[in-house]
Structures are given as structure tokens and as C-alpha cells.
Homo-oligomer: A and B are copies of this chain.
Amino acid sequence: MSTNKITFLTNWEATPYHLPIFLAQTRGYYEREGIEVAILEPTNPSDVTALIGSGKVDMGLKAMIHTLAAKARGYPVTSFGSLLNEPFTGLITLKGNGINDFKDIKGKRIGYVGEFGKIQLDDLCSKFGLSPSDYTAIRCGMNIAPAIINGEIDGGIGIECMQQVELERWCVSQGRPRSDVQMLRIDRLANLGCCCFCTILYIAHDEFIAKHPDKIKAFLRAIHSATLDMLKDPVQTYKEYIHFKREMGSELHREQFERCFAYFSHDISNVPRDWNKVTNYSKRLGIIPQDFEPNCTNGYLTWELDPDEKDPMGKQEAIAEIQDEIKQKGGVFSGNSLRYVEPANL
């Protein structure tokens, strides 16, 4: 017997920024759109593109750089929307671990999640006059922050709103200031202009998209409703997320949600400028061939999209300030729903 359930595989164990996917379930938006969605979580984030790209799972989430690489390696997937835009990503370390500059990784143990973090590190090595053998690379999967805490690694690649928050909270528990957590942002080290390689995307197998365009549209309508609900009332919707997924109620996850809030895509669209940047970056890294065309589409979004931002670099600076303010004063749970709003006079 077959099933109508669409399998949806998250990029990671359930985390705060998955809220819209779960809210669309608990508020009945999938049902309203006539689809059934079975949300699955991986235990190894490196399984996700192989499973979606081989058609064993219908759709899911993955970062932009992995989505490009999957296609280039013969896993035909396409991004049909965007969840979390360009969260700051970099080499996270603790004050005192001796890494103040990228070249300080010489002789150090550096953690990474999956293979692309390693490729990015090695690319930076060549830029900074190091060789990949100058540091010890340690694959940590989901556990970058605990590995730094336990002293297994001296630093590791992570995201500001996730692993960095985890490490900051540990510092606080040790009587150390949050500023003891330092991040060397990869966009700055690699002169990328954004951390869009880490943008979290909605992806599906190409055959699934071709066969079921109506299901893709229905899924996106449900997700769009849930996203707007979340942006309008983050506190109430997060409360509902906790009700469904209890572990989201921890102080760590609540704070991660506050720090994720400014990164959420409003219109869930793929941003062509970001895709061009990351496509070029991936070509340079040798992950995709020179004639590669970005495997993304906004063709299934059935509402008006936001206009292009006129000052993407200014946006990055503004978001850095917003994140700093949330770090000092708290975020949505302190009534501080800070988000980037483009200045009117641009």
C-alpha cells in the first residue's frame, strides 16, 4: 500500500529555527492545503543530501553550499525556497585558546561539521599562507560547542545563532563574560560579502518537483502562513512549538530562537544575488564545475516577493548590531523583536 505522506527531512535535529515547519503542522496549514507531511529528523546531518538526492526522502532542508554540491555530484536536488538567510558563520573559539587570527590555527585542532567545512578551511589556509597539514581537522558533526568545552578542539566552524550561543551560555555558567566567545567570520576571511553559503533552504528531489508541483506549492503556502504567524507573534508561536516539542523549552533553545529571529526569510524566496555569490565561491572551491547553473527556483511561490535589498553590505552591518543588542539585552522574550528594516532613503 502506498502513502500520501510527504517525507520532509530537517537538516539537523529539531532546532529553534525549524519553528515554521512544525507550526504549519500544529496549526493545520498542511491539512488546509490538502497535504500530509511526515517531518523526520536526521541523526547525522551528512545523510540529508544523499537521502533527498537519491529520492529516498521527498524533501527537506539543507544549506546552500551543500545544495549546490549535491547537484554537482549527481544528486539532483533543487531549492524551492529559503528558511534562514545568511546566518553569521565562522571559526568559533574561546578567548585564551590562542586563535585570534586565522593563521593562528597552525598547530591547533579545528572542528568542522561535515566535509564542506573542511574544504572551506583548506581554502582559507591557502589564502593565509598555510597548508591543510598545518592544523588538525576533527569532524564533530552536531557537537562543535561541547567539543570546544571539553577541550577536544581549540575552535570549530559554527553558526552565530546556534553553536556560538551554546558556548556563550557555557561561559556565563563558568562566570566568564559572553565576549570570551570569539568568531572569525568566514564571509570576512574569504571576502564573500555574506554568509549566504550557510543560508538554510527548502530542497526537494527534482523528480518529486516535476511530478508534484502542486504539492510543492501547497507546502510553500503552508510554510508561508506559518512564517508570517511567527514573525507577527514570535512569543506565542514559540510557546506552541514548545508544546509540541518539549525540548525547545530549554533556556538554550529559547535564546537560540532569539538570536535566529533576525535571520528568518520573510517571503521564503531564494535570493538570486546570494546564489550567484555562493555559486562563484563554490566554483573557486572546486565543489562545482565552472559551467554550473544555480539549482534554485522561486517558481512555486504564489505570492508577491519582497523587492531586492539595495544595500546588502549595509544589511550585514545592521544585523551585526541587532545581534549584539540582543546578546546584551535579550530578544523576542524580552519584547525585543529586532529585525532589519531597509532605510527609506536608500
Chain A residues packing against B (C-beta within 8 Å): 1-3, 5, 7, 9, 13-14, 22, 25, 38-44, 47, 50-51, 53-54, 56-57, 73-76, 142-143, 146, 243-247
Contact = CB atoms under 8 A, between A and B. Distances in A.
B40 A43 contact: yes
Contact of A2 (B13, B54, B246): B54
Contact of A14 (B2, B25, B43): B43
B1 A51 contact: no
A68 to B, nearest CB: 15
A7 B43 contact: no
Contacts of A50: 3, 5, 38
A195 to B, nearest CB: 25
Contacts of A22: 43
A246 B73 CA distance: 32
A51 B146 contact: no
A76 to B, nearest CB: 8
B246 A51 contact: no
A56 B5 contact: yes
A41 B47 CA distance: 13
Contacts of A75: 1
A53 B1 contact: yes
B39 A40 contact: no
B14 A51 contact: no
A54 to B, nearest CB: 4
A321 B7 CA distance: 43
